[in-house]
Structure 1
Amino acid sequence: MADDEGFREFVHARLARLSRVAYLLTGEHHAAEDLLQNTLVRLASKWPKVSRTGVPDAYVRKVMYHEHVSSWRRSRHLRSELTTAELPESGSGPDMAAETVRRLLLEQALAKLTRKQRAVIVLRYFEDLSEADAAEALGVSVGTVKSQTSYALGRLRELAPELHVLVKEPNGVSA
């Protein structure tokens, strides 16, 4: 690799966010680590070309989402995501119990979606991408992003009604 230092700087600056995105996509720490590692290996092999384009973030995003959505094809079977009774490590804050409950509700709800639906939800609501940018990252049409988002949100409302606690009304009060 011609630009080792540039690659290291890029990864160092974005590692925390990429790790969070990988975890949101997979719902498992080990699977997230594998997804991130595979993504970074692919980035490393293309780094000289990608770094010259000036948009390595778009390339990394596209690789990660494609890797996640198509990973079942390589393994030839779908892995089911299981929820556990163990609470994840919680951060510090005034109401750690409420934050943990919200996090568990969100993780369980995301686990109920297909890989593509989960990818669309993470792109649109965690990464705050536009429909067009999400479509580009996934290599699908804007219409597909719209329909997958709509279907995923409807599915979440149906299968995880407990998520209503995450919805804020305009006056700041939970619904």
Structure 2
Amino acid sequence: MELDTTLTFEEWVASRVSALLRFAWLVTGSQHEAEDALQTALAKACADWDRIGGRDEVDAYVRRMIANAHVSAWRRFGRWQSPAADVRAPGATAIAGVDAGVVERDLVWRVCSTLPRQQRAAVVLRYYEDYDTAEIARILDCAEATVRSHLHRALARLRSELERGGDDG
């Protein structure tokens, strides 16, 4: 998104908050964590708006801030959290009245949410946000080869888990 340098921070946020929250949710896998990461990133962006507001790629810059905020929060608090197992009946693959495509997308997202954070971020940026490897590398602050490695490993794990999950149901 090309930035109009006459936009105030509040105007920019109003026009981008939905997309940024969606991105944060895809990276974190949790509405609560997404809101926290977005709030942290926007607070920093607001404080630095005079410096970053004129950049061509403000969206990419703030997305990286969101990813960094999430990783930082996980480093601080992640070791104290014990996620509960998914509460579903064993072998349950369909819900009455729900389209099979919705169930499949839910399964894909549940498997995606088990990926390591950098792999999940790479998958989200590539397949949900449609960035190329150079843009992903810039956002995640790593080499393009690392992005390709993250994507390769993530897709291999997704295939394996989905094939295994398909045989169980």
| Class of the TM-score when normalised by the shorter of the 2 chains | 0.7 to 0.9
The one of 11, 14, 29 equivalent to 2:13 is: 11
Deviations 1:87-114 (Å, cap 9, x if unpaired)? xxxxxxxx85335313321321112200
Name the structure 2 match of 1:53.
55
**Are the aligned partners of 1:62 and 1:138 in contact in 2 as well (CA < 8 Å)?**
yes
Q: Alpha carbons of 1:76 and 1:20: their partners in 2 closer, same or farther (altered >3 Å)?
A: closer
Compute the TM-score of the two structures, normalised by the length of structure 1. Answer: 0.77
Name the structure 1 match of 2:93.
none
Q: CA deviation at 1:71?
A: 2.7
Q: Give % identity.
A: 37
Name the structure 1 match of 2:149.
147
The one of 105, 108, 111 equivalent to 2:107 is: 105
What residue identity is the alignment partner of 1:161? E
What residue identity is the alignment partner of 1:68? H
The runs of 5 or more residues in structure 2 that have no matched partner are 89-96
Name the structure 1 match of 2:24.
22
Name the structure 2 match of 1:32.
34
Deviations 1:48-105 (Å, cap 9, x if unpaired)? 110122321121011112222333222261645556458xxxxxxxx85335313321
Compute the TM-score of the two structures, normalised by the length of structure 2. Answer: 0.79
What residue identity is the alignment partner of 1:119? A
Name the structure 2 match of 1:168.
none
Aligned length: 153
**Are the aligned partners of 1:27 and 1:81 in contact in 2 as well (CA < 8 Å)?**
no
Q: Alpha carbons of 1:81 and 1:129: their partners in 2 closer, same or farther (altered >3 Å)?
A: farther
What residue identity is the alignment partner of 2:33? A
Q: Alpha carbons of 1:115 and 1:82: their partners in 2 closer, same or farther (altered >3 Å)?
A: farther
Q: Alpha carbons of 1:58 and 1:157: their partners in 2 closer, same or farther (altered >3 Å)?
A: same
Distance in structure 1 (CA, Å) of the matches to 2:139 and 2:24:
14
Name the structure 2 match of 1:121.
123
Q: Alpha carbons of 1:27 and 1:73: their partners in 2 closer, same or farther (altered >3 Å)?
A: same
Structure 1 segments (4+ residues) deviating >6 Å: none
**Are the aligned partners of 1:83 and 1:108 in contact in 2 as well (CA < 8 Å)?**
no
Name the structure 2 match of 1:91.
none
Distance in structure 2 (CA, Å) of the matches to 1:112 and 1:76:
14
Distance in structure 2 (CA, Å) of the matches to 1:13 and 1:129:
20
Deviates more, 1:28-37 or 1:62-71: 62-71
1:71 aligns with 2:73: yes
What residue identity is the alignment partner of 1:118? R
Deviates more, 1:65-74 or 1:7-16: 65-74
